[in-house]
Amino acid sequence: MASTKIVLGAIFIASFYLSASLAFPPGHHEGAYPVGNGPVSGLSPDYYKFTCPQADEIVVSILKKAIAKEPRIGASLLRLLFHDCFVQGCDASVLLDDTEEVVSEKNAIPNKNSIRGFEVIDEIKAALEEACPHTVSCADTIALAARGSTVLSGGPYWELPLGRRDSKTANMKLANKYLPPPNATLHRLIKFFQRQGLDKVDLVALSGSHTIGKARCVSFKQRLYNQHRDNRPDITLEKSFYHTLALACPHTGGDNNIRSLDFVSPSKFDNSYYKLIMEGRGLLNSDEVLWTGKDPEIAGLVKSYAENEPLFFEHYVNSITKMGNINPLMGHNGEIRKNCRRVNQEI
Ligand code: HEM
Ligand SMILES: *[C@@H]1O[C@H](CO)[C@@H](O)[C@H](O)[C@H]1NC(C)=O
């Protein structure tokens, strides 16, 4: 009996690794290999069912404390998943610090003085190592933290495929190249997402992440004073909104002052982001152009999400699952880092 089970188990595990290694040939490539949704990704929501069944509980309990202390941290952790997955895939490359071998992505332009939440990831990872040593990857830790933060902020829950492994490299150049800037045109935003295997629906739904969190003045100042290199504001900015922004963000200085991306409900994950951009009160250019960019499909989605929050949540769940499945390291590729900030020491 017992030995039959073991044999069956071994066959199951062997076939799992075989299919995983076929789906993901060895080696870590530059750029992203979109793998889309569902079982083809090779990741599984049950990945830690036997090896760390309490993983999600541990993550959520630490998130609860962190969000109670500072509501914005949920937004910062959600953003980490985006900045991880768009650069070499969801492999925790974003967490690596500078060393002799590693040029950290933290110093790339979109990340520097901007991306945050590393201390909370460290705390979660330490608790996971304590409960289940050398088991849960840093890449999965980011994904679990992003899902938990979304749910704790009032957003939707999704079945989260797990089993990503951690990279031994980071790529600052790719972070500069593949993370979209806030002043991008709609045409460019579509291209940035296409490169990752993400479509227009994904672009509009995932931009809805800006229903929580904050941005620095430097990220939207061009809209206030020099939108088209003509020393004039962006005419699509609603007038009174423009005046409050200009007060917070003067022409010179104040670059690190911060404003909420969704000033109506800055720490609640809801669909007010879409209502705001329809009123000319989106904070970033990349937000506003979803409505003003003259793409009927995209503007139509904005309107649908503004009118129908359940539809937004449904599409969001689908799109963030796709994003979370971009080019994971599996099988014998990568490693399970002990400390998310550095690759394991070879002994
Ligand atoms: C569509 C292209 C996108 C652009 C151009 C963009 C750009 C930005 C910028 C410039 C900021 C503020 C950074 C700062 O001023 O320090 C920001 C914040 C944020 N972004 Fe995005 N983003 C995009 C898509 C996404 C996606 C896909 C997600 C998540 C799935 C996301 C999640 C967030 C969150 C939650 C914040 C607030 C972070 C905090 O308060 O710490 N963004 N984004
Ligand atoms: C966006 O901002 C960067 C940096 O300030 C600037 O070089 C670039 O020309 C801007 N792009 C557009 C489309 O305005």
Per-residue pLDDT tens over the stretch 68-83: 999 999 999 999 999 9
Q: Within 13 Å of residue 223, how many CA atoms lie on the same side as its CB?
A: 30
Please indicate, yes or no, whether residues 302 and 168 belong to a single structural domain of this protein: no
- In the chain, the amino acid numbered 148 is G
| Interval between CA 19 and ligand 1 midpoint (Å) | 35
| Ligand 1 close to Cβ of residue 285 (< 6 A) | no
Per-residue pLDDT tens over the stretch 123-132: 999 999 999 9
State which ligand 1 atom lies nearest to the alpha carbon of 73. Answer: 41
Single out the residue of 121, 12, 40, 139 nearest to residue 85, CA to CA. 139
Residue 5 in domain: no
Task: Give the domain CATH number at 296.
Answer: 1.10.420.10
Please indicate, yes or no, whether residues 34 and 146 belong to a single structural domain of this protein: yes
| Encoded tokens for 134 | 């050398």
Across residues 28-57, what is the average pLDDT? 72
97 phi and psi, to 5 degrees? -85, 165
Torsion sign across C-alpha atoms 158, 161, 166, 171: negative
Residue 1 in domain: no
Residue 25 is labelled as binding a ligand: no
Residue 185 is labelled as binding a ligand: no
Within 6 A (CB) of ligand 2 lie: 181, 183, 185
Residue 89 is labelled as binding a ligand: yes
Per-residue model confidence (pLDDT) at position 346 = 78
Helix (H, G, I), strand (E, B), or coil: what is residue 69?
Answer: helix
Please indicate, yes or no, whether residues 131 and 209 belong to a single structural domain of this protein: no
Across residues 270-284, what is the average pLDDT? 98
Please indicate, yes or no, whether residues 108 and 206 belong to a single structural domain of this protein: no
Please indicate, yes or no, whether residues 172 and 44 belong to a single structural domain of this protein: yes
| Interval between CA 195 and ligand 2 midpoint (Å) | 20
| Encoded tokens for 225 | 């004073």
pLDDT above 50 for 150? yes
Range of the domain at 139: 30-178
Contacts of 240 (CB under 8 A, 6+ apart): none
| Ligand 1 close to Cβ of residue 155 (< 6 A) | no
Burial class of residue 269, CB neighbours in 10 A (0-12, 13-18, 19+):
buried
Across residues 196-202, what is the average pLDDT? 98
Please indicate, yes or no, whether residues 247 and 171 belong to a single structural domain of this protein: no
What is the number of structural domains in the chain? Answer: 2
Q: Indicate the pLDDT class of residue 15, thresholds 50, 70 and 90.
A: very low
Please indicate, yes or no, whether residues 44 and 173 belong to a single structural domain of this protein: yes
Residue 82 in domain: yes
Please indicate, yes or no, whether residues 282 and 256 belong to a single structural domain of this protein: yes
| Interval between CA 182 and ligand 2 midpoint (Å) | 9
Residue 199 is labelled as binding a ligand: no
Mean pLDDT (the chain, rounded)? 91
Task: Give the domain CATH number at 145.
Answer: 1.10.520.10
Enclosing H/E stretch for 259: strand 258-260
Across residues 101-109, what is the average pLDDT? 98
| Encoded tokens for 149 | 């933060």
Protein residue with least CA distance to atom 37, ligand 1: 213
pTM of the model: 0.91
State which ligand 2 atom lies nearest to the alpha carbon of 228. Answer: 14
Answer with the one of 144, 162, 178 that is the final residue of a domain. Answer: 178
Residue 342 in domain: no
Across residues 120-141, what is the average pLDDT? 98
Protein residue with least CA distance to atom 11, ligand 2: 183
Q: Which residues carry out catalysis?
A: 83
State which ligand 1 atom lies nearest to the alpha carbon of 258. Answer: 15
